[in-house]
Amino acid sequence: MIQLHDLTEYQKSICEMLWSCEGLDDVKFLLDYVLDESERKTALTLIEMMHMETLERDEGLDSVAPIVDKMLKNIMENSK
């Protein structure tokens, strides 16, 4: 499980929304239609933090890092 420390209540609420998504389409919908611009930027930052935490925690994920990077890039490019 990914753990992000020292988040504000605001950031925690955004994380809860992200974790409730069942897939990439849900994340894109959340970013594009549910969150306002400030929340969207926070969500994208938190997604990147999750990615970095995962890579730091599980060095074995280096082999899939390019796939995750591509997915994150697609999310960021395709949201608003």
Residue showing tokens 């955004």: 14
| pLDDT tens by residue, 11-44 | 999 999 999 999 999 999 999 999 999 999 999 9
Higher pLDDT, residue 76 or 6 = 6
The share of the chain scoring above pLDDT 90, in percent, equals: 52
Q: What angle do CA 60, 65, 70 make, to 5 degrees?
A: 165
Count of positions (residues) in the chain: 80
Q: What number of CA atoms fall less than 13 Å from residue 58's CA on the CB side? A: 12
* pLDDT for residue 61 is more than 80: no
Mean pLDDT of 39-54: 90
